[in-house]
Structure 1
Amino acid sequence: MTATSSSTGTRGPAAPTDGARVALHPLGIGDVRIGGFWAERQGANASAVRVGLQRLEEAGNLQNLRIAAGRADGEAIGPVFADSDVYKWLEAVAWEYARQPSDELLEMQREVTRIIAAAQADDGYLNSVVQVRHGNRRYTDLPWSHEHYCAGHLIQAAVAQVRCTGDTALLDVAVRLADHLAGTFGEDRRHDVDGHPVIEMALVELYREAADPRHLELARYFVEARGRGLIAAYGKEPTYFSDRVPVREATTVEGHAVRAVYLAAGAADVAAELGDEELLQALRTQFDHMTATKTYVTGGLGARWEGEAFGDPYELPTDRAYAETCAAIGGVQWAWRMLLATGDARYADAIERMLYNGFLAGVSLSGTEYFYVNLLQHRSDAHADGNRSPAHGRRGWFDCACCPPNVMRTLSGLEGYLATHDGSGVQLHQYAPGTITAGGTTLTVETDYPWDGLVRVRVDAAPGPFRLSLRVPAWAEGATIGTRPAPPGYVHIDAAAGDVVELRLPMEVRTTTAHPRVDAVRGCIALERGPLVYAAEQADHDTPVDDVRIDPDAPRSSEHRPDLLGGVTVVTAGGLTLVPYYAWANRGPAPMRVWIPTT
């Protein structure tokens, strides 16, 4: 089917080249328009993006760049990676502009871009905190300086900006910075890696945009150099930095969770563009081990507050879960790249779990307050022992503010993660009402997902027959397509203009038990409905949630409550009322638990 051979809209966050070895190609941001549940979240996020500029001013991030540019005097403020928050926010502005063009957004983008361009050194180097605070002494402590990390987020923002607005000002900055890196690091240059990956993903995407093979080669180098003693040479313990084992030899993820999944996502990009099947297979193994032994039922990643890290297999405490919001975002980015490379539905399943639960819990219904940490149990009288503690409730900003702008860019660019095309047709991976355009084919999706399991797809236009593929989630046992059973995975339908396809996903309340090695929740159950994990929150109970118990065989029911928490379906079971996990703490940071001990 030639109609789906290319995307017609603005390319999204990951856009493999025509020569990449991938099974699927993403549709552009402009090819997918969504309404319903996710549109409501995006609407709240649009307000947050505009507030974000004020937050960056208040926190000093923009002032650092002005000082580096010689436009202001003073000392650098905040962490050494302060620039990265500006760049993630700029990326959010770009995707938001693609969704809803606005002169206000365009002027915000251009003004901040002018400040960044003025701060760049003559040779392309750019990191305002290093330039101001450290007398321009570059790359002296790469494990902690985040210099490549900040460069990576700048490059990602620049790629988004040119794809969404056509402006090339930030891309010019990004190319000069990437060229500086390529002239400094590599096989025949300085051997070193940054302590915090993300430059790998960024360089591949810059290659996809600007077609300079040096950028792809540098991304490959940074992936291959990891795990070869470079971090240890600084006297640092390598596990935290995902530097203990070479990427293609690793069998699991370890250390700092965000670092680990960002690195894996970049490695997946490198594998796709170079057709490196051995590297891709290693990443399959790592992803499988992560989801089987190191992932919370919410899709949250990172069991330890210490080091914001993955723990050992099955080390998944509930009340001390870290499950950083950024880790869920990085998990989605990695899973998406694995889905493009392989076409395997399990990666789309993982994206769904992370998006609806581990990620979405990180932002308030208003869109302007955030959790850094996403625990699965909040005890009575919990003490807020740090700026990031969930006992504060969601907060408007943090001393380490990586999560808020990361949430912003993810929600603004969400259309880029819903559907793909290949030479035979169109694939729908996540369900939302709206329209999907692939070449000359136009689809309308009607659904009230995640509250209702009916997904109706109407083929409004198509130049000829094509294959329509719909994902049946792994949890959806008993799903049907029309009148026939639809087993988990992808159901493929031969479709043409005028066809209407109905997928029905069962929405009964499910009881979930953990692997017996997860000691923290032995003897407990969790309740799920559709893609959502549920939680018991104190606001709905007279008995202290700390003390509740549940009969696992008790009857279960559900009811949609349009008056509650922006409109949610609640679950009742064994005398308990549960709300979607993502919605907890919107009535204050009250006691909550996902895993409930059985009677």
Structure 2
Amino acid sequence: MTTPIVDTAVSRPIAPADPSRGRFRPLGLSEVRLTDGFWAERQRRNAAATIPHIRARLESEGWLGNFDLAAAGDLPEGRRGREFSDSEVFKYLEALAWELGREPDERSEENFRAVVARVAAAQEPDGYVNTMFGRPGQAPRWSDLEWGHELYCLGHLFQAAVARHRTRPDADDGLIGVARRAADLVCRTFGEGGIERVCGHAEIEAGLAELGRALGEPGYIDQAALFVERRGHGTLADIEWGRVYFQDDVPVREADSLRGHAVRANYLAAGAVDVAVERGDADLLDAVRRQTSHAIARRTYLTGGQGSHHQDEAFGQDWELPSDRAYSETCAGVSSMMLSWRLLLSDGSPDHADLIERTLYNVVATAVGQDGTSFFYANTLHQRVPGEPADPESTSPRASSSLRAPWFDVSCCPPNVARTFAALGAYLATADDDGIQVHQYAGSEIRTTLRPGVTVGVRVETSYPDAGDIRLVITESTGGPWSLTLRVPAWAVGATISDADGTRTAEPGTVSVRRSFAVGEEVVLTLPMAPRVTHPHPLIDAVRGSIAVERGPVVYALESIDLGADVDRAVIVGDPELDVRGGEILLRVGVRASEEASWPYGDAVDPVVEETRVRLIPYREWGNRGPSTMRVWIPR
């Protein structure tokens, strides 16, 4: 393992993940601020619309009220929601904590404290907090580790507490105490000599590890390590989809790929990285890298989405990536980002940042409607049937992806997106003793201390991804030379970098400028933004012979509203031809005649087509104009 990246005199970041060692250290919310552009607007909408919407739904659905019932001793009568509904309250608290760290607000602070008080009132004297188990009339504690989600919920509680501790370490609302008591109970109950099992839904591992980092409690990290090492030894009951669903089929160190339920797999891998980094366990870290690399190479959609099975929300086998049955759960996108970020901090590879960018623009951004109060749970790449607009007052089945819905019976995705957007500034840049590294491009301001006496600042000016120019203006530079390192995405062949020394080629990977910068000096990275045709790997049967269109990090889609016909009638005739007009991408397609047949098989015939040029839209924008059919991959 590598040594700590910064001098101990440098303050720790206000960030979701803060490893004690690694190639880079994250720059947190006090060091990076989004100012304008695509992600700043998304962050503002998250604060103004999404987070208040989540609070209102937690109240109206009764999921917050469950804690009141617990405190009053009235459970199980009147409890509402699924067994894991507590976790949505905790994710809401985490989102609000990061938002308060970004933009303090008196009313939001009052809301935060009011919810914490309701949670704290429901905590048992020994630290147990859960509204589904453990009281007269309910199943006993820890009696359903396969499906009960007790430890999963606590993992999200711990992450909420970490967010509060890092944004307001002096807060007196009591959330840290609630989390500490619960974590102590977990260690007593599941430590050596206790219940030697794991939770059916991984999450406690990353939550405990980060709480241990934040509070300086190595015992919490030790318990996270126990959970990681127990996984894969068959401590959970077998089910119809097999123990692979829980990642309980093969020990973490022996697995070849991420597999099973996609969200569980990513959360487990993220927790394993945390444990490996804190313990200097190179073998465990290499195992997670191996599994992640395999899943990205063979089990990940063009959008960055993961999970091709609806029935078990799971990864498919290698190359099993059907567009019309893509599950690509929004939470899987968030958990994939969490894993990729931890790997990036550990080894510095720009490949991890590439996947974060792809997933952000094409899964996480897609999941939330333009109103900030409607959501996709699953993110298909091919919608065959136009959907019905959702009733804004209704609660929808979780996998309905024809149009965004305001809430779901299983509403893990809305608060997961909310906490990601609120903390997004902490995913943009990193530092080491020698300089800063910018991984994601957005209008922002970056300022940090690299080591005692060396303070640097950069203003990032860009309209990316609409345009490919990223201008970085030095706003502060004291203490001698330092390095400014920029990620060049894998797709950006032909990128250039310009500075005081002139313009030169910037190959995919990273490019650095090192000098004693003067305030006002500029470095400009120019990424090629011409649209490009993308072909699938020939082993992906479902889209063999099709093409997709990308521009920069953005995947494009064809929607029936623009075609004027069902997208299943679209076909590429000859070589794909793209035009760019007024910032819009036009693709020449043929439109098959609508013909009825009594039997769908027979001799191959050339389709009867009418050729036209049709506008493509960024995939993240599909479904915003009403019911439609849509596809990303278009057959030739």
Q: How high is the TM-score relative to the length of structure 2? A: 0.89
Structure 1, unaligned runs of 5 or more: 561-568
Of 587, 591, 594 in structure 2, the residue corresponding to residue 573 of structure 1 is: 587
In the other structure, the counterpart of 1:456 is 471
Letter in 2 for 1:468: L
In the other structure, the counterpart of 1:41 is 42
User: By how many angstroms is 1:390 displaced?
Assistant: 3.8
Letter in 1 for 2:356: I
Inter-partner Cα distance in structure 2 for 1:379 and 1:526? 17
In the other structure, the counterpart of 2:58 is 56
Between 378-387 and 76-85, the greater mean CA deviation after superposition: 378-387
The alignment partner of 1:572 has SS state of strand
Equivalent pair of 1:452/1:507 in contact (CA under 8 Å): yes
Inter-partner Cα distance in structure 2 for 1:247 and 1:391? 32
User: By how many angstroms is 1:223 displaced?
Assistant: 0.4
User: By how many angstroms is 1:253 displaced?
Assistant: 1.0
Q: Deviations over 1:203-245 (max 9, x none)?
A: 1111111111110100000000000110137998311001111
User: By how many angstroms is 1:76 displaced?
Assistant: 1.4
User: By how many angstroms is 1:28 displaced?
Assistant: 1.2
Of 582, 586, 598 in structure 1, the residue corresponding to residue 620 of structure 2 is: 582
Letter in 1 for 2:168: T
In the other structure, the counterpart of 2:513 is 493
Q: Give the percent of matched residue pairs that are identical in Structure 1 and Structure 2.
A: 46
Per the alignment, do residues 486 and 218 of structure 1 end up closer, same or farther by CA in structure 2, a change over 3 Å counting?
same
Task: Provide the alpha-carbon RMSD of the alignment.
Answer: 2.0
Of 123, 126, 130 in structure 2, the residue corresponding to residue 127 of structure 1 is: 130
The alignment partner of 1:306 has SS state of coil
The alignment partner of 2:33 has SS state of strand
Inter-partner Cα distance in structure 1 for 2:239 and 2:622? 42
In the other structure, the counterpart of 1:189 is 194
The alignment partner of 1:437 has SS state of strand
Q: Deviations over 1:71-123 (max 9, x none)?
A: 76732111111100000011000111112110111001100000111100111
Inter-partner Cα distance in structure 2 for 1:56 and 1:462? 46
Inter-partner Cα distance in structure 1 for 2:135 and 2:31? 43
The alignment partner of 1:455 has SS state of strand
Inter-partner Cα distance in structure 1 for 2:635 and 2:573? 9
The alignment partner of 2:270 has SS state of helix
Per the alignment, do residues 383 and 101 of structure 1 end up closer, same or farther by CA in structure 2, a change over 3 Å counting?
closer
Of 473, 485, 500 in structure 2, the residue corresponding to residue 469 of structure 1 is: 485
In the other structure, the counterpart of 1:564 is none
Equivalent pair of 1:3/1:462 in contact (CA under 8 Å): no
User: By how many angstroms is 1:367 displaced?
Assistant: 1.2
The alignment partner of 2:616 has SS state of strand
Inter-partner Cα distance in structure 2 for 1:235 and 1:393? 30
Equivalent pair of 1:300/1:359 in contact (CA under 8 Å): no
Letter in 2 for 1:111: A
User: By how many angstroms is 1:280 displaced?
Assistant: 0.7
User: By how many angstroms is 1:515 displaced?
Assistant: 0.8
Q: Deviations over 1:554-578 (max 9, x none)?
A: 4323345xxxxxxxx5311211210
Letter in 2 for 1:30: S
Inter-partner Cα distance in structure 1 for 2:337 and 2:202? 16
Per the alignment, do residues 580 and 256 of structure 1 end up closer, same or farther by CA in structure 2, a change over 3 Å counting?
same
Alignment of 1:256-335 (within 5 A): 256-335=261-340
Q: Deviations over 1:18-63 (max 9, x none)?
A: xx3x100001112111121001111111121012111001111111
User: By how many angstroms is 1:193 displaced?
Assistant: 0.2
Between 197-206 and 489-498, the greater mean CA deviation after superposition: 489-498
The alignment partner of 2:249 has SS state of coil
The alignment partner of 1:75 has SS state of coil
Per the alignment, do residues 235 and 191 of structure 1 end up closer, same or farther by CA in structure 2, a change over 3 Å counting?
farther
Inter-partner Cα distance in structure 2 for 1:528 and 1:6? 44
Equivalent pair of 2:307/2:315 in contact (CA under 8 Å): yes
Alignment of 1:145-224 (within 5 A): 145-166=148-169, 167-168=171-172, 169-224=174-229
In the other structure, the counterpart of 1:408 is 418
In the other structure, the counterpart of 2:527 is 505
User: By how many angstroms is 1:307 displaced?
Assistant: 0.3
Per the alignment, do residues 132 and 394 of structure 1 end up closer, same or farther by CA in structure 2, a change over 3 Å counting?
farther
Per the alignment, do residues 37 and 411 of structure 1 end up closer, same or farther by CA in structure 2, a change over 3 Å counting?
same
Inter-partner Cα distance in structure 2 for 1:472 and 1:558? 23
The alignment partner of 2:548 has SS state of strand
Between 70-79 and 246-255, the greater mean CA deviation after superposition: 70-79
Equivalent pair of 2:389/2:626 in contact (CA under 8 Å): no
Per the alignment, do residues 281 and 67 of structure 1 end up closer, same or farther by CA in structure 2, a change over 3 Å counting?
same
Per the alignment, do residues 3 and 9 of structure 1 end up closer, same or farther by CA in structure 2, a change over 3 Å counting?
closer
Equivalent pair of 2:146/2:237 in contact (CA under 8 Å): no
The alignment partner of 1:543 has SS state of coil
Alignment of 1:93-104 (within 5 A): 93-104=96-107
Inter-partner Cα distance in structure 1 for 2:13 and 2:551? 34
Inter-partner Cα distance in structure 2 for 1:532 and 1:134? 51
In the other structure, the counterpart of 2:406 is 396
Inter-partner Cα distance in structure 1 for 2:574 and 2:493? 20
Larger radius of gyration: 2
The alignment partner of 1:61 has SS state of coil
User: By how many angstroms is 1:246 displaced?
Assistant: 0.5
User: By how many angstroms is 1:381 displaced?
Assistant: 4.8
Inter-partner Cα distance in structure 2 for 1:343 and 1:549? 41
Q: Deviations over 1:512-547 (max 9, x none)?
A: 111111111011000000010000011212232121
Per the alignment, do residues 527 and 99 of structure 1 end up closer, same or farther by CA in structure 2, a change over 3 Å counting?
same
Per the alignment, do residues 234 and 485 of structure 1 end up closer, same or farther by CA in structure 2, a change over 3 Å counting?
closer
Inter-partner Cα distance in structure 1 for 2:532 and 2:191? 51
In the other structure, the counterpart of 1:424 is 434
Inter-partner Cα distance in structure 2 for 1:446 and 1:455? 6
Of 250, 253, 261 in structure 2, the residue corresponding to residue 248 of structure 1 is: 253
Between 105-114 and 65-74, the greater mean CA deviation after superposition: 65-74
The alignment partner of 1:502 has SS state of strand
Which one scores higher on RCO, CA 8 angstroms, separation ≥ 6?
A: 1
The alignment partner of 2:357 has SS state of helix
Between 39-48 and 377-386, the greater mean CA deviation after superposition: 377-386
Q: How high is the TM-score relative to the length of structure 1? A: 0.94
Inter-partner Cα distance in structure 2 for 1:381 and 1:93? 35
Letter in 2 for 1:497: A
The alignment partner of 2:30 has SS state of helix
Per the alignment, do residues 132 and 58 of structure 1 end up closer, same or farther by CA in structure 2, a change over 3 Å counting?
farther
Inter-partner Cα distance in structure 1 for 2:573 and 2:471? 36
Letter in 1 for 2:228: V
